[in-house]
Structure 1
């Protein structure tokens, strides 16, 4: 009996304390923490884009060198031209002897090789990571690859009339390129790529930067923070810069390094810095007073419920327990002392079940003394202790329900600061750019493959497609179509296409409109070359693995991300989804339509704060339609981040207020339910049994279920039942023996 009541009071007081701690610690600062956090994530997203660009370029250089097929007529000069002429990003190239460092061939701008230890660089068998060098006062990236070429070598011991021996040797390809171009999203934002010392290597800005953003201390501070991160290669952070009037600079930094293990960019020491001036809030919110008032009200309710249960349940039950034990001793023990226990009336305390048990015990006491016989009790009864438990739950609900549904509700229109909403839109545009670049690269790679198919045998074409499938993990299937749409050559998995068509030109498209897996494909025409064997088909398709597209979408603090087609049906997502389903919220669909990204047009990114069933959500949408292979798609990228995941004071106050209400209601109902199970329900059962016993039922055996106060009352009732049953048997035996003895006496008298 005591544990449920004590637990109710203690747990409600704990909830009151948590309310003070949780709500009292929320203070609205001039720059909410969600704003620097958003800038940090923008810097991390930009750093990932730079890292991906460098990784792709390094892989392309190595793949081009591996795919180059040297012939007997190949020379270092012709090889270098074949390896670099088709790529516009190359500033200069060089072929070196990896053993001596001798320059065999050079093209384009001079490659800065000063200080390069060729033998050490070319040693080993793994991929050679890029290096950051200085040339003419500008910083460039050097990419490396090993190229196998036939080389003629004369043996000095050979006779002069012998032909030179032909062997294969490995050369080192060095390609110099400029740093990847930065793409900045968000009006007034500036992005920089820094080296390890904090010097800016590349800078780009969007729109007009505020004077508050001109803080020259930020690059050095970002470089120091990145260098202090130690072994955490993909570290990131945020900083607050100078303030000008009502605006202050918010900056984020992130290392350009791999997050999943050793990568091509780990040793470059590059850091991305983004910053933007944002308006500071002029009004603050302090929830300390509300927390104290709410906690005080709950503490008062806890003490009130504890006292009510103590006086209406605990004390009457203890007195009833003592009275039942006293009557049991008087009924079973002999002697005048035990007999005196039966002469003390049973006091009736409380109401409901306890009052019924008390009245029945008093009736049993009189029956044990022989003062009365069995007594019937009325069937209609007043409210019992179950009503008291329900009333207790309602009392707790009077405090909890307003906390859950009414108090501290965040205003959807004003709760989320404008810079946080702008950051979500900028990050959505960055995600869109990342997906667009991936699709464009898939199309470019496929076009390069298609250019090498004419003039080859069918077996050679199959080998080219198999090698492409092995080198490009984003493809799940490669196949050639003839003019009727039939597949003439295929490698990889079974195509998912259900739309049989032979499109013109090239680009990205979907080749099914239903099914479990969306089929997204790059396609390009296979050109006929005069004088060469035509390809086995006229269009080369490369179905893109949707999992490769899904893997591009998740980013920390970006929330759920969906890629939708021109009918707003989901093609890919960072969360679980069903192919071609609608977006989970109608507001997201309206947001996607508001981008006005019609096929062939650029469209405009947009963002909004929407109210969902789980609270405010910071949402944004951006069109994928831009120039290039994806221009005609009409696709969108939609993101939704619950505001509760962001450090926004108004939203934090709403969530913690709701949590306090839910905890209070849950714990209060649980403790009162516990009291109902272990006290009230057994009391109802005992009340029925004791009234039957007082009404003359001597056959029903009373079994104590629990070892507690109610169990002791039940044991006492069983002892009284046995005593009454024994007395009734003795009385019946006496009545049966009385007539027989009278008959014998009459016979003797006669």
Structure 2
């Protein structure tokens, strides 16, 4: 009986203490933490946008070198031209002898080869990561690839052929390129690419808003923080810069390194630094007074409930327990001791079940003394202790419900600062650009493959497609369609669906508009070569795995991200979805429609704070592309981050207030439910049994279920039942005197 009551009081007092601790720790900073976190994530997203093209370029150059069909008649000059002629971004290229490092062929601008040890670089079996070098006062990226020569390769630096070599030889391809173009989003935001020492390698700014105040210490601080995190991680962070005219510079930094293990950019030491001037806030957020009031009210409720249960349940039940034990001893003993136990009336305390048990025990006492016979009791006698438990729940709910639904509610219009909303829009634009680049790269790769198919045999085409499928994980299948729409050649999985009418040109398209899985494909024309047999198919399709697209959408603290078609139906998402379903909220659909510009234009990104059944969220939408093969698709990218996930004082206060209310209500219901199970419900059963026993039922055996006060009362009632049953049998057999006479004989004379 005592544990539920004590637990109720203690746990409610703990919730009161947690309310004070939780709400008192909320303070409003001049620059909210959510703004700093947002800038950090923008820097991380920008770093990913820098890292991805470097990784793609490095793997493409290595793949091209590995697929180069070197023959015994190949020369370094022809090989260099074949390997790099299609690379538009190449500044300079050279071929080196892998063993001696001797220059074999060169093209374009001079390639900075200082410190490049060809023998050491080619000695290992793994890929050679890119390097950052200086040439002409500018920093360039050097990409490396091994070119394997057949055993009977001619030495290009000799006028005569040498004797055939018994082992394969290698050339080292070195390609120099500029750093990937740096793109930034958000008015007034500046982005920089820094080297390990904090020197800016590339700078770009965006928008018309006032730029961040120049702070020479930010690049150095960002480089120092990045170096302290190690070069093989994608660590990121935030910094605060100078303050001017009520605006303060907020900066984010992130390493251009792989997050999933060794990568091509780990040794470059590149760091992305983004910065933006944001207005400082002066509004104070002090919830300590409210916390003390709420905690004091809950503490008062806890003590009130504890005292109420103490005086209305615990004490009456203990007195009843003592009275039942006294009657049981009187029923089982004889002589003056038995009379003394039975002589005192049973005090009736409390109400409901305890009062009923008290009246029934008093009737049993009189029956044991022989003063009365069985007595009938009415079936119901007003409210019982179940109503008391319900009242306790209602009292706790009177404190909890306002905490959950009414108090400290964050204002949707003012709770989220404007820089946070702008940051969500910038991150959505970065995600959109990343998806566009991925789709554009898929189309570019497919076009390169399609250009190499004409004039080849079917077996050679199959080999090319199989190699392409192995090298490009984004494709589910590659297949050729003829003019009738029939597949003439396929590698990989069976296409989800194919087009009936073969399109002209090339680009990205959706093959279906319904079904379980969206079918998205890149396509390019396969042209016939003059004087040779026509190609096996006229269009090469590469069906893109939508799971690869889904995985590219997920970014930390960006929330849920969806890619929709021109009809705002979901094609891909970072969360679970059904293909071609509408966006989960009509507000998101309206936001996506708002990105549409004037007729004939591609539209612009937009953002807003929207309210839904799950609470306010910071949402943004952007058109997928303004140019390139995906521009005509009309796709959109929509992102929604719940405001509850942001570190905003108003939102934190709402969350912690709701949590306190939920905890108090849950614990109150649990403890009072526990009291109902172990005390109130057994008391109801005992009340029925004792009234039946007092009413003359001597056959029903009373089995104690609980090993507590209620169980002890049940055991005492069983002893009384046995005594009354024996007396009844004795009376019926005529071998015992009346109870009144027997008692009088045992009564001591004065």
Q: TM-score, normalised by structure 2?
A: 0.95
Which residue of structure 2 aligns with residue 613 of structure 1? 613
Which residue of structure 1 aligns with residue 723 of structure 2? 723
Q: 1:486 to 1:601 in 2, by over 3 A?
A: farther
Which residue of structure 1 aligns with residue 244 of structure 2? 244
Contact 2:134 2:140 in 1 (8 A): yes
Which string of whole-angstrom CA distances, capped at 9 and with x for unpartnered residues, describes residues 318-367 of structure 1? 00000000111111112212211111011110011111111111111111
Counterparts in 2 of 1:64-75, with a 5 A limit? 64-75=64-75
* Aligned mate of 1:165, from 163, 166, 172: 163
Deviates more, 1:82-91 or 1:423-432: 82-91
Counterparts in 2 of 1:172-321, with a 5 A limit? 172-208=172-208, 210=210, 212-230=212-230, 233-321=233-321
Contact 2:13 2:299 in 1 (8 A): yes
Which residue of structure 1 aligns with residue 742 of structure 2? none
Q: 1:197 to 1:479 in 2, by over 3 A?
A: same
Q: State the alpha-carbon separation in 1 of the partners of residues 254 and 632 from structure 2.
A: 34
Which residue of structure 2 aligns with residue 125 of structure 1? 125
Q: CA deviation at 1:76?
A: 1.0
Q: CA deviation at 1:164?
A: 4.3
Q: State the alpha-carbon separation in 1 of the partners of residues 156 and 297 from structure 2.
A: 98
Q: State the alpha-carbon separation in 2 of the partners of residues 646 and 414 from structure 1.
A: 14
Q: CA deviation at 1:149?
A: 4.1
Q: State the alpha-carbon separation in 1 of the partners of residues 635 and 598 from structure 2.
A: 9
Q: TM-score, normalised by structure 1?
A: 0.95
Which residue of structure 2 aligns with residue 522 of structure 1? 522
Which residue of structure 2 aligns with residue 747 of structure 1? none
Q: State the alpha-carbon separation in 2 of the partners of residues 453 and 166 from structure 1.
A: 33
Q: State the alpha-carbon separation in 1 of the partners of residues 68 and 522 from structure 2.
A: 24
Q: State the alpha-carbon separation in 1 of the partners of residues 355 and 270 from structure 2.
A: 81
SS in 2 for 1:95: strand
SS in 2 for 1:655: helix
Q: State the alpha-carbon separation in 1 of the partners of residues 464 and 535 from structure 2.
A: 12
Which string of whole-angstrom CA distances, capped at 9 and with x for unpartnered residues, describes residues 346-389 of structure 1? 11100111111111111111111111111111234111100000
Which residue of structure 1 aligns with residue 95 of structure 2? 95
Q: 1:415 to 1:720 in 2, by over 3 A?
A: same
Which residue of structure 2 aligns with residue 374 of structure 1? 374
Task: Provide structure 1 residue ranges, at least 5 long, that are not aligned to the other structure.
Answer: 739-750
Which residue of structure 2 aligns with residue 681 of structure 1? 681
Q: CA deviation at 1:74?
A: 2.4
Contact 1:153 1:166 in 2 (8 A): no
Q: CA deviation at 1:499?
A: 3.7
The aligned length equals 734
Contact 1:597 1:604 in 2 (8 A): yes
Which residue of structure 2 aligns with residue 421 of structure 1? 421
Q: State the alpha-carbon separation in 1 of the partners of residues 409 and 218 from structure 2.
A: 38
Q: State the alpha-carbon separation in 1 of the partners of residues 737 and 472 from structure 2.
A: 109
Counterparts in 2 of 1:555-634, with a 5 A limit? 555-596=555-596, 601-634=601-634
SS in 2 for 1:172: strand
Contact 2:232 2:261 in 1 (8 A): no
Deviates more, 1:526-535 or 1:706-715: 526-535
Which string of whole-angstrom CA distances, capped at 9 and with x for unpartnered residues, describes residues 464-522 of structure 1? 11111111111111111111111111111101115422011110001112222111000
Q: State the alpha-carbon separation in 1 of the partners of residues 161 and 248 from structure 2.
A: 77
Contact 2:475 2:545 in 1 (8 A): yes
Which residue of structure 1 aligns with residue 649 of structure 2? 649
Q: CA deviation at 1:85?
A: 2.1
Deviates more, 1:146-155 or 1:676-685: 146-155
Task: Provide structure 2 residue ranges, at least 5 long, that are not aligned to the other structure.
Answer: 739-750
Q: State the alpha-carbon separation in 1 of the partners of residues 127 and 602 from structure 2.
A: 39
Contact 1:190 1:209 in 2 (8 A): no
Deviates more, 1:40-49 or 1:335-344: 335-344
Which string of whole-angstrom CA distances, capped at 9 and with x for unpartnered residues, describes residues 597-638 of structure 1? 699742111111122222221111111032000011111111
Which string of whole-angstrom CA distances, capped at 9 and with x for unpartnered residues, describes residues 690-742 of structure 1? 1111111111111111111011111111111111111122222228999xxxx
Contact 2:154 2:161 in 1 (8 A): no
Q: CA deviation at 1:22?
A: 1.0
Correspondence 1:484 to 2:493:
no
SS in 2 for 1:413: helix
Q: State the alpha-carbon separation in 1 of the partners of residues 156 and 482 from structure 2.
A: 51
Which residue of structure 2 aligns with residue 661 of structure 1? 661
Contact 2:595 2:606 in 1 (8 A): yes
Correspondence 1:85 to 2:85:
yes
Q: 1:600 to 1:270 in 2, by over 3 A?
A: farther
* Aligned mate of 2:154, from 149, 152, 173: 152
Contact 1:599 1:632 in 2 (8 A): no
Which residue of structure 2 aligns with residue 746 of structure 1? none
Q: CA deviation at 1:68?
A: 1.8
SS in 2 for 1:366: helix
Which residue of structure 2 aligns with residue 452 of structure 1? 452
